[in-house]
Amino acid sequence: MEAAVKSLKAGMTESIVAAKAEYAMRESGAEEFWRTYVCSGPRTNIAHGLPTNRKIKTGDLVMIDIHPIVNGYSADICRTVCAGKPDKEQQEAYDLYLKAQQETINKVRAGADIGELEETMHAVLKEAGMVNIYSVLHPRCWHRI
């Protein structure tokens, strides 16, 4: 993930970002990996979009989702980063999502109910006025926990 994020520059294609991530996974010892997904700009709303030759533009959000396999262990790492400096709206969205994620993580414990954790995340988003976010986050909100 670090190699893909550090290499990200305006003018690169999504496919090149994916290739850099895949090369770094192999170089770091991954025996194999599941599909690498990279979506940028208007395509970041695609949960598992295959990388294309779309050129990344300054200010684009770029979603990178990698799945290395090492010693039989399969990991799933997803990050959304900005190509360049995020604008005010992007930063505010990031800050809100981070707050929701941190409040949810604070409630994680042995025996915690996934529904209760999900409600914690959704309550933070709803309180901030994101009432229509459920259909977008529901299948993906646990991706990083």
Tell me the average confidence (pLDDT) per consecutive run of 10 residues in the chain, 145 residues long: 93 97 95 94 88 97 94 92 94 92 95 90 89 54 48
Among 81, 35, 31, CA closest to 58: 81
**pTM of the full structure:** 0.81
Cα 62–chain centre separation: 8
* Bridge partners, 62 (sequence order): 40, 81
- Look at the chain and count its residues: 145
* pLDDT digits 0-9 by tens, 109-140: 999 988 899 899 889 999 998 866 554 555 44
